[in-house]
Each structure stands twice: as C-alpha cells, then as structure tokens.
Structure 1
Amino acid sequence: MPLVVPGIQSKGGDGIDEWTNKLMGKKIGESHDEVTFAKQDLPQEHRVIQPDSMSTMDFKPERLNIHVDDKGLVKNVRYG
C-alpha cells in the first residue's frame, strides 16, 4: 500500500467540497439556522477539533475532521 500524505498527495476525499460549503463559518449545534449546523446531520464518523486540543494522528479516510476556532466557528474541514 503506498504512503498517502493528507493534504499533499490527497484531495481530501469524495464529498469534501460539499461538507466545506455546508460547514465553513458556521457553529456546530443542536439545530439548523443561518449560523449553526446540526450535529445529528454530520456523518456518523466525525470529530470536532477545538483549538489547542489533542487528537489522535491515526488516518481514517472515512472520518470527517471539523476544525473550529476559539469562538466555535468552523475554519477547516477534511477527511482523515
């Protein structure tokens, strides 16, 4: 199996543009509105990564990683 370096040799996975459009600049919450995306509508395999939080470095191509800033706004979305 060849080595894949996320972000350099991969494009982020199928559907990443769709998730980026849905989530960028929004908060993750309990329900939908203009500034919030409901958690229950995220893929089963996901994690929300807070600034300065620790996360595992294992690469799972089906897992959606949602990076938020200190105000809880989505700043980056990628698979891995």
Structure 2
Amino acid sequence: MPLVVPGLMSKDGGSSGDDWMSKLMGKKLGDQHDEVYFAKSDLPKEHRVLKPDSMYTTDHKPERLNIHVDEDGTVKKVVKG
C-alpha cells in the first residue's frame, strides 16, 4: 500500500518537485521508511534516479520525478520533468 502523505499532492493531481524535495532531501532510497531511508515503493510511477556521471535522456516529461543522488545514494536534488 502506498504511503499517503497529506499535502504532498498538488491541485492538478500530480505532485510538485518542491514537495518531493522536502520529503526526499538528505535521505536514501530503500525498501521502507525510517530516519535515513524513503521507500522506493512510495515514489510516483514516473520517476528515475540519476547517479553522478550517469547518462540520461534529456526528453521532458512533465509528470516524471528526477531524483539526483550523490555517490553514496543520498538525495541531493529533486526536479519534475
């Protein structure tokens, strides 16, 4: 069952990158939630995790959540598109 976080959904039914950044910033992605990890299963269907120096497409998908992580997997930036 996905995590329901009040206030995380925007008016258009999606969620804003800023809301996701506040939830993910400084955390790692894992199987469940705790002080250090955010559960991957609770991310939107359209997402991708971008590691440093990884190649990725530059196509713009407004509904996609781009999660930028550092070398140890800690979230450093979250943007939509």
Give the AA of the match of 1:20: M
Q: Is there any run of 5+ residues in structure 2 with no aligned partner, and where?
A: 1-13
CA RMSD after TM alignment: 1.3
- CA drift of 1:14 comes to 5.1
Contact 2:25 2:77 in 1 (8 A): yes
Aligned to 2:17: 16
Aligned to 2:55: 54
Give the AA of the match of 1:32: H
Q: Is there any run of 5+ residues in structure 1 with no aligned partner, and where?
A: 1-12
Q: Helix, strand or coil: the match of 1:56? A: coil
- Determine which structure has more spread, i.e. the larger CA radius of gyration: 1
Aligned residues: 68
Deviations 1:23-69 (A, max 9, x none): 00000111111010000000000000011110001000100000000
The TM-score, its normalising length taken from structure 2, stands at 0.80
